Amino acid sequence: MMSSIALNELEASAAARQLQRRAITAEQLVRACLDRIEAREPAAQAWTHVAADAALEHARELDRGPIRGLLHGLPIGVKDLFDTADMPTSYGSSIYAQHVPAADAAAVALSREAGAIVLGKTVTTEFATFHPGKTHNPHRSGHTPGGSSSGSAAAVADYMVPLALGTQTAASVIRPAAFCGIVGYKPSYGSIARAGIKSLSESLDTVGAFGRSVADVALFVAALTGDQRLLDLGDASGARIGVCRTHEWPQADADTQATLQQGSAMLARAGALLVDVQLPDPLSLMVQAQIDIMAYEAARSLAYERICYASSLSSELSAVLTAGMAISAAQHHENLARTARGRKEIDALFFGCDVLIAPSAVGTAPAGLESTGNPIFSRMWTLLGLPCVHLPFAKGAHDLPLGLQIIGRFGADHKTLQASHWAHQQLRANESS
């Protein structure tokens, strides 16, 4: 029996099941998403390019043929940091306004191989840094959707597409997921191939996914990595969860502090074993290490743009690159060594708990489009390479979304997703009761 939910509002995992059974067609789903884009894009401004005709033709081709893979018939948005051979790719910069790459990024090619339909390219900040794009928060126009994966998060939150690709170098998956009220998943560093993505920081850049449930992002990343274990979300009741306020806790606003406490209480009542976790003092240095490593590596990754197109760069990016060029190679190597020590310190915490929970952002999405918000609550986890999942379940100022993030041990993405799936079920049940 067909669901009464509009097709574009189906969670990706639910849509995938219907597509696999041929209960709906890919063309029907694509048309529903395109209709939503037509209705909402003037306000949301989530896309840089929508390939409507090509998407419909691909959908009809999939409907005529066999089931292609885990993502068969699912429309996706692709952050405009990923190369696409059949669509413009500008990396959020006027320097590349007319650029069409020769090949797809690996993640895009793998998505297509698994049966996904690329609906178009979503807005990114300039080279995935801090200068915002045009996108508005779908929950409240005039508020930021976060960055740098601004358009991807907004498009999923606004029911334009069930899944979207993003990247995270500081907080570019978790923070927009938090501001837009959807699930964002940053896998363990190196899990998904980065070939064909405009590089910002070799030590930090990580491909991530946006969806409306944990099952959605698990499905997407399982298709991209070939790790079928991620599809088994099982039952994580009784999970040992460490409540980690982090050294940055004083920067969290009252809404965020209350949300972490509220979420912790909900999970404890549902049967989780909660314990307060204090981070070792050396980990207080991780945020600054991330800032310095990102700046040093960005100044070199963007050397061509810095040298040849300096006048085309924003003041925000120019400041990052200038700071990066002022950091010596010796300082950079010490930052990398400090990071390696930090990874050992954090790994030891997971002997006493399965996952950690922590704030995702300082608060709700700030007003204005001049900034994408403070990345402070994701910098350390990105530097340490750990898997992170944002779980939306609450509301704060201006009725904007709030939630928390679950952090797992490096490489323990399956366990992290299982705990996240269970936790999100409990948090959403409490939210709706």
Residues 24-35 pLDDT 10s:
999 999 999 999
CA angle 111, 77, 20 (to 5 degrees): 50
Taking the C-alpha atoms of residue 241 and residue 418, their distance in angstroms, rounded to an integer, is: 12
Taking the C-alpha atoms of residue 71 and residue 74, their distance in angstroms, rounded to an integer, is: 5
CATH code, domain carrying 160: 3.90.1300.10
Examine the domain organization and report whether 123 and 194 are in the same domain.
yes
Examine the domain organization and report whether 58 and 141 are in the same domain.
yes
Are 77 and 47 spatial neighbours (Cβ–Cβ below 8 Å)? yes
Backbone angle region of 72, left / alpha / beta, with phi > 0 → left and psi within -120 to 50 → alpha: beta
Domain-terminating residue out of 211, 231, 251: 231
Q: Has residue 222 been placed in a domain?
A: yes
Examine the domain organization and report whether 301 and 202 are in the same domain.
no
Q: Beta strands 240-243 and 273-276: pairing type? A: parallel
Domain-terminating residue out of 191, 210, 231: 231
Examine the domain organization and report whether 181 and 246 are in the same domain.
no
Q: Has residue 2 been placed in a domain?
A: no
pLDDT tier for residue 399 given thresholds of 50, 70 and 90:
very high
Q: What is the mean pLDDT of residues 357-376?
A: 98
Which tens digit of pLDDT belongs to each residue from 86-117? 999 999 999 999 899 999 999 999 999 999 99
Examine the domain organization and report whether 369 and 393 are in the same domain.
yes
Question: What strands lie across the sheet with 47-50, from one edge to the other?
Answer: 47-50, 117-122, 75-79, 163-168, 206-211, 183-186, 388-395, 401-408, 355-358, 240-243, 273-276
Are 183 and 390 spatial neighbours (Cβ–Cβ below 8 Å)? yes
DSSP three-state, residue 84 = coil
Q: Would the pLDDT of 3 be above 90?
A: no
Q: Has residue 101 been placed in a domain?
A: yes
Return the pLDDT at 172: 98
Examine the domain organization and report whether 52 and 186 are in the same domain.
yes
Residue for token digits 């069409």? 100
Q: Is 4 a catalytic residue?
A: no
Q: Beta strands 401-408 and 75-79: pairing type? A: unpaired
Query: What percent of the chain lies above the pLDDT cut of 70?
Result: 99
Phi, psi (rounded to 5 degrees) for 191: -65, -40
Taking the C-alpha atoms of residue 67 and residue 432, their distance in angstroms, rounded to an integer, is: 36
Residue for token digits 């700071």? 323
Residues in CB range of 320: below 8 A, 6 or more apart: 129, 130, 294, 295, 298, 299
Domains contained in the chain, number: 2
Are 10 and 43 spatial neighbours (Cβ–Cβ below 8 Å)? no
Taking the C-alpha atoms of residue 398 and residue 431, their distance in angstroms, rounded to an integer, is: 17
Structure tokens at 231: 């599809």
Residues in CB range of 41: below 8 A, 6 or more apart: 47, 50, 160
Out of 13, 90, 111, 148, pick the active-site residue.
148
Taking the C-alpha atoms of residue 306 and residue 267, their distance in angstroms, rounded to an integer, is: 48
- The pTM assigned to this predicted structure is 0.98
Examine the domain organization and report whether 43 and 147 are in the same domain.
yes
Out of 13, 79, 198, 420, pick the active-site residue.
79
pLDDT tier for residue 1 given thresholds of 50, 70 and 90:
very low
Examine the domain organization and report whether 264 and 327 are in the same domain.
yes
Q: Has residue 423 been placed in a domain?
A: yes
Residue for token digits 């049966």? 115
Examine the domain organization and report whether 216 and 79 are in the same domain.
yes
Q: Is 344 a catalytic residue?
A: no
**Within 10 Å of residue 344's Cβ, how many Cβ atoms?**
9
Examine the domain organization and report whether 358 and 426 are in the same domain.
yes
Q: Is 186 a catalytic residue?
A: no
* Amino acid type, 383: L
Q: What is the mean pLDDT of residues 189-194?
A: 98
Examine the domain organization and report whether 166 and 110 are in the same domain.
yes
Q: Has residue 1 been placed in a domain?
A: no
Taking the C-alpha atoms of residue 344 and residue 227, their distance in angstroms, rounded to an integer, is: 25
Q: Would the pLDDT of 2 be above 50?
A: no
Taking the C-alpha atoms of residue 60 and residue 56, their distance in angstroms, rounded to an integer, is: 6
Taking the C-alpha atoms of residue 210 and residue 218, their distance in angstroms, rounded to an integer, is: 10
Q: Would the pLDDT of 411 be above 70?
A: yes
**Within 10 Å of residue 69's Cβ, how many Cβ atoms?**
16
Q: What is the mean pLDDT of residues 261-278?
A: 97
Are 47 and 120 spatial neighbours (Cβ–Cβ below 8 Å)? yes
Return the pLDDT at 432: 55
The H helix count followed by the E strand count for the chain is 14, 11
Helices (H), 45-115: 52-64, 106-113
How is residue 79 annotated by DSSP? E
Out of 172, 301, 360, 420, pick the active-site residue.
172
Which tens digit of pLDDT belongs to each residue from 134-182? 999 999 999 999 999 999 999 999 999 999 999 999 999 999 999 999 9
Mean pLDDT of the chain: 97
Q: Has residue 198 been placed in a domain?
A: yes
Domain coverage including residue 400: 240-432
Q: Would the pLDDT of 351 be above 80?
A: yes
Q: Would the pLDDT of 363 be above 80?
A: yes
Q: What CA–CA distances, in Å, run from 19 to 28, 220, 424?
A: 10, 15, 25
Residue for token digits 């669901």? 3
Which tens digit of pLDDT belongs to each residue from 284-330? 999 999 999 999 999 999 999 999 999 999 999 999 999 999 999 99
Return the pLDDT at 4: 77
Are 87 and 121 spatial neighbours (Cβ–Cβ below 8 Å)? yes
Q: Has residue 421 been placed in a domain?
A: yes
Domain-terminating residue out of 231, 263, 285: 231
Examine the domain organization and report whether 217 and 250 are in the same domain.
no
Q: Has residue 249 been placed in a domain?
A: yes
